[in-house]
Structure 1
Amino acid sequence: MSLYRQVATLMRSVATDIIVPRFRTLATHEIADKGAGEIVTSADHDSEAALRDGLARFDPGTRIVGEEACEAEPGLLDDIGSGRVWLIDPLDGTANFAAGREPFGMMIALVEDGVPIAGWMLDPVSGRLCAAVRGEGATIDNAPVRVQPQDRPLPVASLGTQFMDVERRTAVHAAVETAFVLEAIPRCAAESYPRLVLGRNDVALFQRILPWDHAPGALFLTEAGGVATHWDGAPYRVGSPSTGILLANSGKAYDRLRNALPLSLLPTVSHQD
């Protein structure tokens, strides 16, 4: 079995055995506060451990960096843009999951010297698997997929600005609203990226760019024909000194966002740690 299929099979198994059985069944003691308005559950910890063990069997010796491991040991992110690295987000959208609502997902990426070379995003409830291999295109449930921009009076933007101060956030939304209809983010990157490819959203913006949140999706989007750059226009790269991320399902939509949003409005930090 190819490494690509091994990872997909592992993710489905972990989702079936650990994630789905705990959806809407978590006990109070299985939910903890991580600080900064974020929570973690037993499902996050247990699924990350199972994914880590599986990846270590498939690809011995390769560095593995998981979200929850980094919470306990932030130094794991040092030199994240160097060498071959597996990135794990065992339960993306934990707040949704803990509240008993969708969407939430599981994300894995394989990165070499900061460049995503393979990525997987699984919706544990529907079973939808979005995946991509660098240079080989993007798929949904093994079927090739390309971006599907929609013909509508105004394109749709989804803005991850929750880490900005109120004044700046208001200014960014006001600027983008001159050229787009705004839709709230789903609070789940594993859902945000499919929405761009499938045409529900045309552009998106995020300030916080922790690598496990964006490496799988940025590869999926670009392999499907979309655009993913940092705020300064540099191609998205794990560990880049550039800040933020801008996403679009076409060059036209990307240019429209850049024209509507002066870079001077954007913060100079991207909350990577």
Structure 2
Amino acid sequence: MPEPSALDLQCLSALLRGTAREEIMPRFRQAKTQAKADGSLVTETDLAVQASLCAALGERWPGIPVLGEEMTDAQQRQLLGDGSGTFWCLDPLDGTSNYACGYPGFGISLALIRNGRAELAAVLDPLRDECYTAAHGSGAFVNDAPIAPHAPGEALGDCLAAVDMKRLPPERIAALFRPGSFRSQRNLGSVALEWCWLASGRFQLYLHGGQKLWDYAAGRLIADEAGVVSTLYADHGRTPTDALSLDKRLAVAAANDTLFQRWVTFIGLPLDG
């Protein structure tokens, strides 16, 4: 069986839609929930989606392993290795807290990683029936229609910003609202969908203090292919990096390069400085 390519994006979209229809939506607002060791939530839906997609991907593309959020740390590190292999990176339910509380912001995020970078991506928003897809070097799409970021002006004050407050140092939050900042602030609570909404023009600026590989692998590829300008950082914003890692990354992005440069300057990295 050939390795997956851009020609398989429709197949992946259908697979995610079928899984959401069978595993996610029937349990919405009634899934059993428990806390993980790090305090984040996991539901029976997360586990069911991961099991279903691992089986389906393994049947169609045997030999390509799946690195899923709900695996153990040891399993994830073994699958990641030195980052040079080929594997699927899966967040079976991105936005679990939203899902558990009934807030309409969650989805499935799936990326194919090969030789240290994301090559294919599919992110499904089952409530809106929007499936975002991208292949490296081939543009980004939602439901097969091309997408691109949108900027209503060149000033930060013209823009909506998606900012995740919870993962920022508390002492740095007030300064984000000083004069010269964004027009208004949002936080969707699903990293994959935040990348996709930035890619499709629903806001223009993005700041998130701690994303894991399965959070951003698919969504960031979609955003980059749409034309978003983005950087991931280690060390609280000191070190730009695209190296594959299970460590959390700070993410900064904007709809275009002009806004990105102004946004980075306004934020003032590193965040712990």
With normalisation by structure 2, the TM-score equals 0.86
What residue number does 1:3 align with?
8
- Number of paired residues? 262
What residue number does 1:258 align with?
264
CA distance in 2, matches of 1:241, 1:162: 17
Residues 229 and 246 of structure 1 are in contact (CA less than 8 Å); yes or no, is this contact kept in structure 2?
yes
CA distance in 2, matches of 1:204, 1:93: 17
The alpha-carbon deviation at position 243 of structure 1 amounts to 4.3
Matches within 5 A, 1:147-158: 147-151=149-153, 153-158=157-162
Aligned letter for 1:192? E
Residue 23 to residue 116, structure 1, CA distance change in 2 (3 Å): same
Residue 224 to residue 78, structure 1, CA distance change in 2 (3 Å): closer
- The structure 1 residue matched to 2:120, chosen from 111, 118, 121, is 118
Matches within 5 A, 1:141-220: 141-151=143-153, 153-171=157-175, 173-174=176-177, 178-220=180-222
The alpha-carbon deviation at position 78 of structure 1 amounts to 4.7
Which blocks of at least 5 consecutive residues in structure 1 are unaligned?
269-273
What residue number does 2:28 align with?
23
Give the fraction of aligned pairs with identical amino acids, expressed as a percent.
28
The alpha-carbon deviation at position 192 of structure 1 amounts to 0.8
Paired residue secondary structure (2:48): helix
CA distance in 2, matches of 1:109, 1:95: 22
What residue number does 1:271 align with?
none
Residues 138 and 144 of structure 1 are in contact (CA less than 8 Å); yes or no, is this contact kept in structure 2?
yes
What residue number does 1:33 align with?
35
Tell me the alpha carbon deviations over residues 118-172 of structure 1, each in whole angstroms, 9 at most, x when there is no partner: 101101112110110001110010111222222485222222241234223444x
Residues 134 and 223 of structure 1 are in contact (CA less than 8 Å); yes or no, is this contact kept in structure 2?
yes
The alpha-carbon deviation at position 72 of structure 1 amounts to 7.7
Paired residue secondary structure (1:69): coil
Q: Over aligned residue pairs, what C-alpha RMSD do you find?
A: 2.5
The alpha-carbon deviation at position 66 of structure 1 amounts to 0.3
Paired residue secondary structure (2:211): coil
Which blocks of at least 5 consecutive residues in structure 2 are unaligned?
none
Q: Which moved more, 1:72-81 or 1:214-223?
A: 72-81
Paired residue secondary structure (1:183): strand
